[in-house]
Amino acid sequence: MGARTAMIASKRMQPCVFGPPNAGLASPSGQARRAAGASSRGGYEGDGGDCQCHTGGSDAHHAAECSHHPNAFATRLAARYPSLVIELLLFLAGIVGGALNSLAGGGSFVVFPALLAAGVPPVVANASNTYAALPGYASGALGYWKDVVKYRERFVLYAIIAAIFGYAGAELLLHVSDKQFSYAVPWLILFAVVLFAFGSRINAFVSTLSGRRGARAAGAVLLLAMLAAISVYGGFFNAGLGILLLAFLVLAGIDNIHAANGLKMLISVLIALVAVVRFAINGSIDWYHGSIALVGVTIGSYVAARLAYRIPTKVIRALVIVYGAGLTIYFFWKTYWA
């Protein structure tokens, strides 16, 4: 009895080896380390990577049994629930993205990379990001409805253009391969970050032009062509769409900021809706992962809207710009230099 107790105690006190499964045992150096019985680093020995106890077995088993492993809980969680970490990541990204859209914009900078990190292919991730953003646009449009109806005579024309050219943008995306779109992603994010960072200056400049010459002087045809181009961009890539639409609406002579925001949301709804319909017909939406992000976006948008007056918008915008710049650098490095 005493010998058996001592054997069990000795087995439980075996040190861990970092490395792939059984790598620490199979190699001569691993056997030597086992014979030595301890690591020079206080009980851990190996070549880097996952923990591998000397008792053998799977990583999930070691994560559960080896309580002195520094990543025991995370390894055990990932081993037992392989999709839970991904689902939680997407849900949290959706909450943050929805909150950013309500407070300062830039939610796609969070949701789109999270979908990519979940293993969703680039084109499908972009389509799923548009799908996830749709309820946030709709709720925002309803919130500004009293201001939007003041310009209802313009909305029919704007809606037709947005729907037609938003669909064209979605169609364009579906004719781009994942590899081609991957090369375009860094440039699209860079463009969106620049718009986000200098959006207020762009809008102020456009407002000055509108005040001097008026929308008619700019030319009604030119304005509608501008809306068409913006709609194609929105159907192709969602990030930065709101800033472009605000610039267009200010140039069109809508000086009421609440009405401009409401029309921006309403046009965004139409662009996103026709794009999502086209993506769905083509089977280009990851409904499962996209829906997880969508739930998070909806919750984040609602909560942030309730807390909007308590959070300094300038601080949030600064953080989004820093994050977006870092994201741009990362995607350029990953795409062209890694």
pLDDT in tens, 82-138: 678 889 999 999 999 888 877 767 788 899 999 999 999 999 999 999 999 998 888
Q: With beta carbons less than 8 A apart as the criterion, state whether 119 and 289 touch.
A: no
Q: With beta carbons less than 8 A apart as the criterion, state whether 161 and 324 touch.
A: no
Arithmetic mean of pLDDT, 143-151: 83
| pLDDT above 50: residue 30 | no
Q: Angle CA(334)–CA(335)–CA(338) in degrees, nearest 5?
A: 45
pLDDT score, position 127: 95
- Residue boundaries of the structural domains of the chain: 2-80, 84-337
Q: With beta carbons less than 8 A apart as the criterion, state whether 267 and 245 touch.
A: yes
Arithmetic mean of pLDDT, 49-66: 46
Neighbours of 156 (CB within 10 A): 9
> Which one is predicted more confidently, 23 or 170?
170
pTM above 0.85, yes or no: no
| pLDDT above 70: residue 4 | no
pLDDT in tens, 264-281: 888 999 999 999 999 999
